[in-house]
Amino acid sequence: MLRRLCWVLSLGVVVCGLSGSAFAAFGTQDWWQDVQFGGSGIVGDSSQMVYDQFNVGSGTVRLALMAHGRYGQSPVSAVAPGIYYVETGKYGGTGYDKDYAKWNFGFYVAAPNVNQYLGVKLFYDFDPGENTGTLNYAWFIANFSSINDDGDPDSVKGEVENSWNLAMNFLSTGSTLYSNGVPIGGVVKSQSNSFNPNVNGEYTFKLEVFQVTAQYDDHNNLTGFSWGNSLGSIEMKVNAVPEPATLVGLASLGATGLGAVVLRRRKKARSRH
């Protein structure tokens, strides 16, 4: 019962189902204006993001994750660090995205001053159960210092960002992207189930950066990459529920009245033994 109570309310003093190393910081960072998740109007000065930054050599890598409503639909609430509540159901309408979820997940990686190849994995979850095991992931390898903004007002040099929906078809099929015969990205689907936007549940997302080593032949032609150690990561949980605003309202009461009720019930249960 207590575990279920934690899942529903995610009390600010008890963060349930989130590992201790899941996030480095939560809120609005001082570089938030660089983060647009590939669009306009997604991020503002009060946006609550999971984020981190760390040094690689003489450069800096910045990471960010955030759940948000699709095109202003389904308001998203963050009730505890790294935990979001979104509304269950399909986006609707008559467009190509009518069967998408009402919410998206945005990701951001920037390393404009890191002049070496980095490997990035974005893990995502189709299983609505809590703390599910192996996750699916999209991956790519890039030298971020060579990525230009191409005049795009919503991006800056040396970054990769976007906003995806779990119902997007490419996330459900394994694929590999090649450049001159060398794999540089793809999607690995490890979970056998598919995403259903009408199902209540908890979904895990993790953004992780790795060392990679470029491999060359005798003629100095790039032939592939080998993956090395993790350099840093962030993680968030997204809970899809019918009425997120109602649960967030309950959560604001939980740290006071409900917490006392749970404590009294536990003490009473002990007194029977």
Q: At what angle do helices 244-253 and 2-9 cross, to 10 degrees?
A: 110
Q: What is the pLDDT of residues 149-169, one digit of tens each?
A: 766 665 678 999 999 999 999
Q: What is the pLDDT of residues 9-44, one digit of tens each?
A: 333 333 333 333 445 688 888 898 889 898 878 888
Domain assignment present for residue 176? The answer is yes
Domain assignment present for residue 156? The answer is yes
- Read off the pLDDT of each residue in 221-244 and give the average, rounded to a whole number: 94
Number of domains in the chain: 1
More confident site: 232 or 75: 232
Closest CA to 89 of 107, 106, 69, 105: 69
Domain assignment present for residue 225? The answer is yes
More confident site: 159 or 250: 159
Would you state the pLDDT for residue 163? 95
The answer to whether 220 and 194 are in contact (CB under 8 A) is no
Domain assignment present for residue 139? The answer is yes
Phi first, then psi, for residue 13 (nearest 5°) are -95, -10
Would you state the pLDDT for residue 4? 33
More confident site: 165 or 193: 165
* pLDDT-derived band at 219, boundaries 50, 70, 90: very high
Would you state the pLDDT for residue 73? 64
Closest CA to 118 of 228, 235, 234: 228
Domain assignment present for residue 75? The answer is yes
For every residue of the chain, which 3-state class applies, written as one string?
A: CHHHHHHHHCCCCCCCCCCCCCCCEEECCCCHHHCCCCCCCCCCCCCCEEEEEEEECCEEEEEEEEEEEHHHCCCCEEEECCEEEEECCECCCCCCCCCCECEEEEEEEECCCCCCEEEEEEEECCCCCCCCCCCEEEEEEEEHHHCCCCCCCCCCCCEEEEEECCCCHHHHCCEEEEECCEEEEEEECCCCCCCCCCCCEEEEEEEEEEEEEEEECCCCCEEEEEEEEEEEEEEEEEEEECCHHHHHHHHHHHHHHHHHHHHHHHHHHHHCC
Q: What is the mean pLDDT of the chain?
A: 82
Domain with 42, as residue range(s), is 27-242
Question: Beta partners for 201?
Answer: 240
Domain assignment present for residue 34? The answer is yes
**Angle 106-234-210 from CA coordinates, rounded to 5°:** 100
% of the chain beyond a pLDDT of 90: 59
CA gap 268, 273 in Å, rounded: 10
Domain assignment present for residue 10? The answer is no
Would you state the pLDDT for residue 39? 82
Can you give the pTM of this predicted structure?
A: 0.82
Q: What is the pLDDT of residues 89-148, one digit of tens each?
A: 999 999 999 999 999 999 999 999 999 999 999 999 999 998 887 899 999 999 999 998
Domain assignment present for residue 1? The answer is no
